[in-house]
């Protein structure tokens, strides 16, 4: 495949809930989209979901945009690019920048599927016909009552799996209240986002009595040993997220027994090709996995849903309906139906930005390369 044009499309998105980051609380953010046109006129879309401010991936929105513009787009020019070989580690000598690479690579996968007249899900080996059951994440909230109120709202909306954020001092009381609210059989998970240390393993083992599907990333990303010790002691499955940036880290985590479950975010691991390779590895090692989201608009969401349809992603993805995140999405919205989202019908990822979005004067379109 040869690239004839690359355009950067930035669309302001209004968030339903403020996005809290290290540099403050944001009610809006820009969706950063890449539109790539190949030499036969096929067009693909990708999304860069690097957040603003400091991030565990070491890749902020501003830096990631600069990396796409200055380092990565030039790699795609004057080459015949085979999308199946676009591993994050093989970007012609450019290290890092997983989120920027994923934005461009996922647009290339969209083109690759559209060229074949197939859905991306089908091309990746997934199922594009069955609706996918999806989950929803509930943030820490100001107190237990606030968390319970949101969980209640999500259950009423139809979600059949809820993940609640926890942190030291805001764990057992929150989980006990939520478990009492949703009942014993409801699929409930918790995510600690690295906020504990190994001295708190006893505390985390106490969560066993709540029948959680898993506890996600309790310890620092580098601390596989603490995860291994918790996994050995706890009856609750241990899931890794921030610890897994590449295949070497995944293999180390699985081989040392540091996890029972893995959250694969294609943007975090550098692209769809890496995500599929990790999926295949986890299938071979009989480790459960699921696809995580990073506040994608409809473009990134469609791409993640296609990936999530692969058979080895055995647990529900964190890919909720559009109205969970945005006042209005930039594609046809994803709508929850009995706890499920349908994959868009159509070639590639099955969606494009709406004309009304592309023609909106607040949308900024910049051509980065044109043959």
274 is a site residue for Mg ion (CB under 5 A): no
Partnered with residue 175 across adjacent β-strands are: none
Compare residues 107 and 289 and give the one whose CB is closer to Mg ion. 289
Compare residues 110 and 216 and give the one whose CB is closer to Mg ion. 216
Q: At closest approach, how far in Å is the CB of 217 from Mg ion?
A: 5
What contacts 244, CB < 8 A, 6 or more positions away?
250, 253, 262, 263, 264, 268, 269, 278
Identify residues 249-268 at the interface with Mg ion (CB under 5 A): none
Which SS3 state, helix, strand or coil, does residue 66 take? helix
318 is a site residue for Mg ion (CB under 5 A): no
Q: At closest approach, how far in Å is the CB of 313 from Mg ion?
A: 15
CA torsion sign for 71, 74, 80, 82 is positive
- How many CB atoms lie under 10 A from the CB of residue 224? 20
Window contacting Mg ion (CB under 5 A); options: 16-24, 108-116, 186-194, 338-346: 186-194
Q: At closest approach, how far in Å is the CB of 194 from Mg ion?
A: 9
Identify residues 198-227 at the interface with Mg ion (CB under 5 A): 216
> Which residue's Cβ lies closest to Mg ion?
241
- Is residue 163 part of the annotated active site? The answer reads no
- Is residue 165 part of the annotated active site? The answer reads yes
Catalytic residue, from 265, 268, 273, 324: name it: 265
How many helices and strands, by DSSP H and E, does the chain display? 13, 13
191 is a site residue for Mg ion (CB under 5 A): yes
Q: What DSSP string describes 156-195?
A: HHT-SEEEEE-BTTBSHHHHHHHHHHH-TTSEEEEE-TT-
Lateral strand order in the sheet of 136-138: 136-138, 161-165, 187-191, 215-216, 238-240, 261-264, 288-291
What contacts 263, CB < 8 A, 6 or more positions away?
216, 217, 239, 240, 241, 244, 289, 290, 291, 292, 318
Site of tokens 């601390």: 223
Identify residues 280-299 at the interface with Mg ion (CB under 5 A): none
Among 128, 241, 274, 347, binds Mg ion (CB under 5 A): 241
Q: At closest approach, how far in Å is the CB of 239 from Mg ion?
A: 8
Catalytic residue, from 163, 165, 227, 273: name it: 165
Compare residues 43 and 221 and give the one whose CB is closer to Mg ion. 221
Active site residues: 165, 265
The residues binding Mg ion (CB under 5 A) are 191, 216, 241
């Amino acid at each position: 495949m040869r690239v004839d044009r690359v355009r950067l499309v930035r669309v302001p998105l209004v968030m339903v809930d403020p996005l809290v980051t290290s540099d403050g609380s944001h009610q809006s953010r820009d969706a950063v989209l890449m539109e790539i046109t190949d030499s036969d006129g096929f067009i693909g879309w990708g999304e860069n979901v690097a957040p603003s401010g400091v991030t565990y991936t070491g890749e902020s929105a501003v830096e990631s945009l600069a990396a796409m513009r200055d380092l990565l787009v030039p790699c795609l020019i004057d080459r015949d690019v085979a999308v199946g070989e676009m591993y994050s580690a093989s970007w012609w000598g450019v290290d890092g920048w997983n989120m920027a690479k994923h934005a461009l690579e996922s647009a290339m996968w969209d083109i690759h599927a559209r060229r074949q007249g197939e859905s991306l899900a089908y091309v990746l080996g997934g199922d594009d016909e069955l609706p996918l059951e999806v989950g929803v994440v509930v943030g820490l909230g100001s107190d237990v009552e606030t968390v319970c109120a949101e969980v209640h709202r999500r259950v009423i909306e139809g979600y059949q799996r809820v993940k609640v954020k926890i942190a030291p001092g805001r764990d057992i009381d929150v989980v006990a209240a939520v478990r009492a609210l949703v009942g014993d059989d409801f699929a409930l998970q918790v995510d600690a986002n690295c906020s504990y240390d190994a001295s708190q393993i006893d505390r985390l083992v106490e969560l066993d009595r709540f029948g959680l599907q898993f506890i996600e990333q309790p310890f620092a990303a580098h601390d596989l040993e603490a995860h291994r010790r918790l996994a050995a002691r706890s009856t609750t499955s241990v899931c890794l997220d921030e610890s897994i940036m590449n295949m070497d880290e995944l293999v180390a985590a699985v081989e040392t027994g540091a996890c029972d479950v893995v959250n694969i975010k294609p943007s975090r691991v550098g692209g769809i090709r890496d995500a599929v390779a990790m999926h295949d590895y986890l299938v071979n090692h009989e480790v459960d996995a699921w696809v995580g989201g990073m506040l994608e608009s409809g473009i990134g969401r469609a791409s993640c849903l296609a990936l999530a349809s692969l058979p080895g992603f055995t647990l529900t993805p964190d890919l909720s309906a559009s109205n969970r995140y945005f006042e209005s999405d930039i594609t046809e919205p994803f709508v929850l139906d009995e706890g499920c989202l349908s994959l868009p019908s159509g070639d590639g990822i099955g969606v494009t930005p709406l004309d009304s979005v592309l023609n909106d004067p607040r949308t900024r379109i910049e051509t980065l390369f044109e043959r």
